Structure formats: C-alpha cells, structure tokens
Structure 1
C-alpha cells in the first residue's frame, strides 16, 4: 500500500534548508526509497512549509528513515526550524490519476459512435496537436475537429489503452487502434478491410485538468500497407 508522510515545519531559513536537502539527495543517491517529493509554501505565512513524501509502502519509508544520512539530515533540519516540525503518516486509500483519466476520456470520445463530440470537456480551446504525418500542426478546436472528422469518415474505429504513465503535467498513453475501412482515406477508396496499428501519444495537461497539447507517434506506414497502398510501389 502506498504510504505518504507529511512534514509540517516553520522556518525563516528555507534557502539553507533547501541546500541541506540537495546535499542529502546527493549523499543518498541510489539508496533513497521515496518515489515522489513535493514541498509547498503557505501563501498566508511565508515561513510555513509542508513537505509531502511518497513511498511505495510503509516498510520502504522505514528503510529510508533508517539510513544514517537520514538521521543526520533530520537533526540538521530541526536546527533550521523555528519550532519542532510535526509528522503525519498516511496510508493512501484513494489515489486518482486525474490527468490520465482525462487522456483516456479523450480517446473514448475520439472513437465514440454517432456525432462528433465537442471535446470541450477534455481539450482547451487553443489545443495544439503535433502529428508528424501532417505537414502542419493542428492548432485550435476547429482544426482538431476537422482531423477527427477525417478519421471518423474513413474508419469505424476504437482504441485499446495498453499502458498509461503520468508524470507532472504529462500523460503518456500506449494504445492499439482497430478500424474498419469504410470511406476514402488519403485517396484510398473504402476497402472494407479490418486494419490495426499501434502508437503512443504524450499529452500535456493544464492545471484545471484539460489537455493543452499532444504529440503522436504511430505506425501509419503499416496502416497504408494493410490498405494496399504500397502494392503498386512493390511492383
């Protein structure tokens, strides 16, 4: 079970404490068990700081605490605090990866049957789309809707999400796309073929949870081969 520790302290010497933490990170390289660390400053009290440290489990947190470097850093940190810091130990009972959920919703809406959804709930108005298959990036909601209509007019398709990883404001999704070729695509008339391809998309999200930018990499050459577009070139 994921474990989180909150360290609440007050200090007028944060710059010194920050340098102290940098030294500890360097000294414990390869030995630390923490997976995520965030320090926040109270907007109403510039001397009030809360550090949030995430570990894979309570046992891993205890292993981190037992490092000799951790004992020394704690004593040095206390010396820089205006008062004794407090510690809150938390077992994580719910963890929502909201950006990853937004990315998943985007793929679901893109492949949804019926009328094209407005995308307003998942994309910002000036969304920027990077697709190496296009001569120019698609920028803005109207442009991405036209791109989506082109794909939806050519195929009935769905996405299978294989993997997702979120870090900061970025979400990386590895997907498999399956489609039925029902209409014109890049000058290729409908073939009725079932086709598939794999790809990866990286999305950048905004603070309110919407997607601001996307970078695509996918096997378009493999798709064209399945549609028979490469047959003439091989003759």
Structure 2
C-alpha cells in the first residue's frame, strides 16, 4: 500500500529547506526508497512549509528513515526550523490519477470499441493530433476521427496498454495491438491477415479532457505483414 508522509515546518529561511532537499536527493542516490517528493509553501503564511514524500509502502519508508543520510538531513532540518516539525503518516486508501482515467477511457471506448463519436466527449473542441501515419502531422478532431475510423474499420484493432505514466498534464503510454485485415487500407484490399505490433502515444490533458496527442507506431511493419513491402 502506498505510504505518504507530510512534514509540517515553520521556518524563516525557506531557502535553507530547499538546499537541504537538494542535499538529501544527492546523498541518498541509489539508496533511498522514496519515489516522489514535493515541497509546498503556504500562500497565506510564507513561514509555513510542507514537505510531502511518497513511498511504495510503510515498510519502505522505514528503510529510508534508517539511512544515515536521512537522519543527518533531518537533524539539519530541525535546526533550520523555528519549531519542531510535525509529521503526519498516511496509508493511501484511494488514488485516482484523473488524466490517466480519461486516456484509459479513450482506448476502451474509441479504439477498442470502435466508437469514434465517443472522442467528442473525451477530447477538447480544439484537440490536435500528431501522427506521421496520417495525411498530415497536425489534424483536428474531425479529421482524426475520419482517418482513424478507416484504420479501425480495416483492422478492428484491440489495444493493450502495457505501461501508462502520468506527470502533470502529460500521459505517456506504451502499447501493443492485434487485429485482422478485413477492410481496405491504403489501397490494399482485405487479406484476412492477422497483424500485431507496438505503439507509443503521449497525451496532453486539459480540464479533464484530451487536448493533444502524439502517436508513433510501426506502420512499415504493418505493411510488411500485409505483404505490401519486401522484408
């Protein structure tokens, strides 16, 4: 279970806390078990600073606290604060990365289910798609639906998201796909050939919707599987 620790500090030297964080990151490289660290300053009280550190589990957090580097930085943190820092330990019982959810819905509802119109609710009105396999590297939603609809109709692909990573407004995915050539594609009549390949895509989200996407997939490999190119 993911574990998060909140460290509440009061200090007249916020810059020193920032320097201590840099020192800890460098000193614990290759040893620390923390996966995410964030420092926030209270907008209504500039002396109030909160450090948030995430770990894969409580047990991993305990391993991190036992590092001599962590103990040293903690002592320096106490010295830099106007009063003793307080700690809040949290077991994460629910975690929703909302941008991941909308991207997952895009694959489930638009790609796998072949419902191109579902993209209208999942994408912004000014959505832009970038894909070297399309007629232009920069197309709007209507054009993307039309051209991708031809691909879906030709292969009825089923996409498996192997990895999905989110940071800020960006979501990156590594995928595999399988399908069968049952419709015309780039002038090729249906061959009934089973096809499979790999894909990568990056999405930029805004306001709970997908605003932009970049796609890379092995189009040449697909054409080879259809016998359109010599291996």
TM-score normalised per structure 2: 0.86
| Unaligned ranges ≥5, structure 2 | none
Partner of 2:211: 212
Does 1:128 pair with 2:128?
yes
Partner of 2:16: 16
Partner of 1:196: 196
DSSP 3-state at the match of 2:18 = helix
Equivalent-residue separation in structure 2 for 1:121 and 1:46 (angstroms) = 41
Residues 134, 147 of structure 2: 8 Å contact kept: no
CA distance 1:84–1:121, change in 2 (3 Å):
farther
1:143-182 CA-to-partner distances (Å, cap 9, x unmatched) read 3222222223433232222332334433332222222333
Residues 110, 148 of structure 1: 8 Å contact kept: no
Equivalent-residue separation in structure 2 for 1:180 and 1:125 (angstroms) = 32
DSSP 3-state at the match of 2:172 = strand
Residues 163, 175 of structure 1: 8 Å contact kept: yes
Residue pairs, 1:46-61, within 5 angstroms: 46-61=46-61
Equivalent-residue separation in structure 2 for 1:88 and 1:193 (angstroms) = 58
TM-score normalised per structure 1: 0.85
Offset of residue 114 of structure 1: 6.4
Residues 8, 50 of structure 2: 8 Å contact kept: yes
Partner of 1:182: 182
1:168-225 CA-to-partner distances (Å, cap 9, x unmatched) read 433332222222333321111233433332222222333x332233222222122112
Residue pairs, 1:102-117, within 5 angstroms: 102-113=102-113, 116-117=116-117
CA distance 1:74–1:147, change in 2 (3 Å):
same
Residues 176, 197 of structure 1: 8 Å contact kept: yes
Equivalent-residue separation in structure 2 for 1:42 and 1:120 (angstroms) = 39
CA distance 1:210–1:10, change in 2 (3 Å):
farther
- Pairwise CA RMSD of aligned residues? 2.4
Residue pairs, 1:101-180, within 5 angstroms: 101-113=101-113, 116-134=116-134, 136-180=136-180
Partner of 2:91: 91
Which is worse superposed, 60-69 or 165-174? 165-174
Which is worse superposed, 49-58 or 69-78? 69-78
| Unaligned ranges ≥5, structure 1 | none
Partner of 1:33: 33
Partner of 1:222: 221
DSSP 3-state at the match of 2:107 = helix
